[in-house]
Amino acid sequence: GENVEQHPSTLSVQEGDSAVIKCTYSDSASNYFPWYKQELGKRPQLIIDIRSNVGEKKDQRIAVTLNKTAKHFSLHITETQPEDSAVYFCAARLQGAQKLVFGQGTRLTINP
Amino acid sequence: NAGVTQTPKFRVLKTGQSMTLLCAQDMNHEYMYWYRQDPGMGLRLIHYSVGEGTTAKGEVPDGYNVSRLKKQNFLLGLESAAPSQTSVYFCASSWSRGNTEAFFGQGTRLTVV
């Protein structure tokens, strides 16, 4: 089955700097890669996703890149703000499969 | 439009007791999932369902049972609770095709003493 590894487990950056979180997946048949943000005490919510036929996707300060050859994808947050502080999860879904497999999560802290 | 709703939000159980967690969604989604969230271990899939009357095992199914008698509801049961089942449980649902975003419930914090 699919296995997703996420790094780093914790990340601290200065407000205004960029943050990058990386994930690797094991099954080359995976074709859907979402990123979820979970604020303290709240439910995970989708912030951006990418499909395997696209190499990069941007939404304002957030971008996701996908390298199918290396089987890894990354979340990039630019001009970080205090409200970006949260736990971020990557995930992967195999083509035709029903299961969404999550990474271990990254706790991002934005220092003022 | 409530989305995904979990009941209860908090619960304390004694070892050996049983309980059922209820997940209800009003988006007519085919797929429903139960995850547990533990520190440093992300979201691990317990069981899932691809439609009414069907269920399947996820990564960590032992000690749990599920049922999906109605499309909008997915129940997670603990027959004999153990301290290792202390966790935050999240239910989620999604479409089967097209936009496959998973929508999560607000979570249930379960403590087994």
- Per-residue pLDDT of A85-104, as tens digits, reads 999 999 998 776 778 889 99
- Cis ω for the linkage preceding B83 (within 30 of 0): no
User: Inter-chain contact A105–B31, Cβ cutoff 8 Å?
Assistant: no
pLDDT band at B51 (very low <50, low <70, confident <90, very high): very high
Scanning A88-107 for CB atoms below 8 A from B yields 89, 93, 98-105
Candidate from B48, B96, B107 with C-beta closest to A43: B107
Burial of residue A85 (number of CB atoms within 10 Å: 0-12, 13-18, 19+): middle
Retrieve residue A112's tokens.
């003022």
Retrieve residue A12's tokens.
């601290």
In angstroms, the CA B108 to CA B15 distance is 18
Chain A residue at shortest CA distance from B100: A32
* Number of CB pairs, chain A paired with chain B, less than 8 A apart: 50
- A4-62 tens-digit pLDDT: 999 999 999 999 999 999 999 998 888 899 999 999 999 999 999 999 888 999 999 99
Residue B2 has pLDDT above 80, yes or no: no
